């Protein structure tokens, strides 16, 4: 596919996504809303976007207010939708659950809408990361040359639909992203960044190139069979734990957006069982099991790249 066809496909996919989100929002507002809850987290300013998170104060909202906040966030796809001081590097998260009462036909209709939205989100992601053929370093320019100010994480973030969960409870998760790499894989990545010749604030393009050159030299001095891994801490994130008693099964979901829970053909006085999200306190975390870690030597701090000894 040539460049201009790809750009047309990208823009067409995004317009369809906006249309489908608007249609889903309209459909959800026509349904019977059961007791629901979402938990607003504090705004992250541009000055705080790289800070460690030690404490998070949660502000709950319920029922119609929860619905309004959810639909607003689902449609929030551009940085212009946020206040000017809010970081564009940290996506706004709104854990929680919206609960609806519906018959089976209505549920199937909503499910079809949600599946279409998630399909378009996946297509958008694939166009940018695969079909475009651009390197990771060039993706920002590819996206923002077409849709200036697009918050890609919000555009890619899928919706989660639940059917008749018995309980929905909330908590927090801390984890590391770990990826094993060879020396040559990292060198290739650094060399592509070098070829892109971009400025990465607060560095000028010349300063950034000089920094990359030093990192390439550092990597080149390691044995070719060196065991390298990226061990990058992920900032604490809210999760939902959903219990299905009939299956005797608990399913855990990342919860950056409220879950959409449907209770099908229930009695008129039915009320779902949903929990609250507590405030997060890093000093009050109980770790049930900490596996013995291998010794690691930090090689490139900004990449969280380590050499396994």
Cβ neighbours of residue 241 closer than 8 Å, sequence gap 6 or more: 168, 169, 170, 171, 250, 251, 252
User: Residues 108-154: pLDDT tens digits?
Assistant: 999 999 999 999 999 999 998 888 777 777 788 888 888 888 888 89
Inform me whether the pLDDT recorded for 304 exceeds 60.
yes
User: Residues 262-278: pLDDT tens digits?
Assistant: 999 998 889 999 999 99
Residue 4 confidence (pLDDT): 73
Average pLDDT (186-193) is 91
pTM for the whole thing? 0.78
Residues 176, 43: contact at Cβ < 8 Å? no
């Amino acid at each position: 596919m040539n460049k201009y066809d790809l750009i047309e496909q990208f823009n067409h996919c995004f317009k369809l996504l906006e249309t489908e989100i608007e249609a889903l929002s309209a459909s959800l507002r026509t349904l019977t809303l059961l007791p629901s809850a979402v938990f607003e987290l504090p705004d992250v300013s541009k000055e705080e976007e790289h800070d460690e998170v030690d404490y998070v104060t949660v502000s709950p909202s319920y029922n119609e207010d929860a619905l309004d906040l959810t639909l607003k966030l689902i449609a929030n796809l551009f940085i212009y939708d946020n206040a000017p001081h809010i970081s564009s590097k940290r996506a706004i998260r709104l854990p929680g659950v919206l609960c609806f009462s519906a018959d089976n036909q209505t549920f199937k209709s909503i499910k079809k809408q949600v599946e279409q939205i998630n399909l378009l989100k996946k297509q958008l992601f694939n166009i940018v990361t695969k079909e475009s053929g651009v390197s990771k370093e060039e993706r920002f320019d590819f996206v923002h040359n077409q849709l200036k100010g697009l918050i890609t994480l919000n555009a890619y973030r899928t919706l989660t639909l639940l059917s008749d969960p018995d309980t929905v409870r909330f908590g927090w998760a801390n984890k590391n992203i770990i990826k094993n790499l060879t020396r040559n894989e990292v060198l290739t990545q650094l060399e592509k960044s070098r070829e892109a010749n971009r400025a990465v604030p607060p560095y000028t393009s010349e300063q950034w190139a000089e920094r990359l050159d030093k990192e390439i030299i550092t990597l080149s001095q390691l044995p070719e069979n060196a065991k390298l891994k990226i061990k990058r801490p992920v900032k604490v994130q809210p999760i939902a734990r959903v219990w299905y008693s009939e299956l005797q099964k608990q399913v855990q979901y990342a919860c950056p957006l409220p879950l959409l829970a449907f209770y099908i053909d229930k009695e008129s006085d039915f009320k779902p069982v949903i929990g609250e999200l507590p405030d997060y306190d890093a000093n009050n975390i109980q770790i049930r099991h900490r596996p013995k870690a291998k010794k690691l030597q930090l090689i490139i701090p900004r990449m969280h790249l380590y050499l396994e000894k």
